[in-house]
Chain A
Amino acid sequence: MNCNQATTLIGPYLDGELNEAQAGPLRRHLLACAGCRTGVQSHKDLQRWFVEAEPVVVPAGFAARVAQAAFAGESRALPTVPAPQPTPFVVAAGRAEDGPRAEGRLLRFVLGLTSVAAAATIMVVLSTRDNRLSEGAGLRADERPRLTMDHAVEELEALQRAEGAGIAGR
C-alpha cells in the first residue's frame, strides 16, 4: 500500500467502515509511515470540530400539533378510501361556527340542483320517446316521422264517431 491509497482509507478506517482485509494493510502501512500517521491525527483533529452547539429544543406540543395537522388534512397519498374534503365555505370563511350552517346551505343547493336535473332528464326522455327509430328504419334528416294520409283519415274518422256518439247520447 502506498501513501495515496492510505490517505483515502484513513477516513473510512476511523469511521469503522473497513473490513479486516482492508484495515490490515493500512495498519501495516501506518506502522511504517510517519507521514500517514500524522494524517490520522489530522483526521481526528478535524472530527473534534463537529460538535453540536447546544441541545436540541423542540417546542412543547410540536408532535401533537403535527399529528393533528396530518389527520385534519387527511392528505396521505393513495388513501384506501377517498378522504372527505373540508367544506369550502369553512375554509373560505375561516370560522368554525359557520361550518354546520354552511354545510346545510350546500346540501340544500345540491339537492335542488339534483331535482332540476332529474326533471330535465324526464322531460327529455318523454319528448324523445316516440322518436326512437326501429333498427330497420332508415335515417332521415327530419327525424320526427310525418303523419301519413291514411293515419290522418283514421284519426278524423275516430273523432267523428266520438262526436256522433255524443250527439246521439244527448
Chain B
Amino acid sequence: MEQEAASDAALVSETLAGNQASFQLLVERYETRVYALLRHYVKNTSELEDLAQETFLKAYRRLDGFEGHSSFYTWIYRIGVNTALDHLKKRGRSPIASTDDPEVLAEPTQVEGRIAAPHAALERAEVARVAQAALEQLPEIFRTVLVLREYEELAYQDIADMLGISIGTVESRLFRARARFKQAVLELHPEYGADADED
C-alpha cells in the first residue's frame, strides 16, 4: 500500500513536470474505481464517460494542490463525488437544501419491518437493480455515504476526509441512510420484507 502511494506521488510529480504518459498511468490506475463510483449517480453510458473524463480533467487542473497527505484515490474520489453531485444539481436534482436537510428534520431512525437478505434464487443483476432503485430514492448525502461505505468499502475516516465532515457525522448519516434505504426497498418491493419472507 505504501509502495503504491509512493508510486502515485511519483506519477503526480512527473505529471506536474509535463509527462503526459505519467498522467495516463494515473488515469489507468483509477479509471475503474472512478467509473464504479460514478455509475451510482448516472446510468447513461455516454453521460458516465463524460463525468469520468471531467473528474480526471479536474484532477489534472488541480494537481498542484494534491499534497499527498491523503491517498490519491480518496482525493480523486472526492473530486468524483463533487463532480457527480454538481451534475445532478445541474439536472435539477438538488443534493440538499437547508430547509429539507434530513439531518435537521426530526425523522424516524427506526423503520418498521425488516428486509430479508436477497433470496439465493434472485439474480445478482436483479439484486443490484433493486438496490440502485432504492438508492435513487435517497437524498444525495445519504446516497453518497452508502455508496462510499457499502460499495467502495471506505473507512469512516476516509469518508469523513473526503466529504469534509466529522466521523460522528459519518456514523450518524450512515445510520439514517441505512434506515432510509431499508424503507425505500420495502416501499418499492414489499415482497422483500423479512415478514413477507416468513409468511
Contact = CB atoms under 8 A, between A and B. Distances in A.
Interface of A: 7-8, 11-12, 15, 17, 42-54, 56-59, 62-71, 73, 75-78
A60 to B, nearest CB: 11
B130 interface: yes
Given A48-B117, A77-B62, A11 B24 contact: no
Given A47-B150, A67-B23, 19 more contacts: A11-B174, A17-B171, A42-B194, A45-B116, A49-B117, A51-B124, A51-B127, A53-B128, A53-B129, A56-B35, A57-B35, A58-B32, A58-B35, A62-B49, A62-B53, A66-B56, A70-B57, A76-B60, A77-B65
A17 B155 contact: yes
B32 to A, nearest CB: 5
Nearest to B123: A53
Nearest to B177: A11
A42 B179 CA distance: 11
Contacts of B116: 45
B57 A48 contact: no
Contacts of A57: 35
Contacts of A49: 115, 117-118, 127, 130-131, 134, 181, 185
Interface centre among A12, A15, A46, A66 (most CB of B within 10 A): A66
A23 B64 CA distance: 41
Contacts of B124: 51, 53
B7 interface: no
Interface of B: 16, 20-21, 23-25, 27-28, 31-32, 35-36, 39, 49, 52-53, 56-57, 60-65, 110, 114-118, 124-125, 127-132, 134, 146, 149-151, 155-156, 171, 174-175, 178, 181-182, 185, 194
A12 to B, nearest CB: 6
A62 B129 CA distance: 26
A63 B150 contact: no
Contact of B32 (A15, A42, A47, A56): A56
Contacts of B178: 11, 43, 46
18 contacts: A8-B175, A45-B114, A45-B115, A47-B150, A49-B117, A49-B127, A49-B131, A49-B181, A50-B150, A53-B129, A57-B35, A58-B32, A58-B52, A67-B21, A70-B61, A71-B20, A75-B60, A77-B64
Contacts of A42: 114-115, 194
A75 B61 contact: yes
A78 B150 contact: no
B64 to A, nearest CB: 5
Contacts of B194: 42, 45
A48 B151 CA distance: 11
A12 B167 CA distance: 11
B175 A76 contact: no
Given A45-B117, A78-B64, A12 B131 contact: no
B39 A56 contact: yes
Given A12-B156, A52-B36, A67 B61 contact: no
A51 to B, nearest CB: 5
B118 A52 contact: no
Contact of A50 (B16, B53, B151): B151
Contact of B28 (A17, A63, A71): A63
Contacts of A15: 149, 156, 174
A67 B26 CA distance: 9
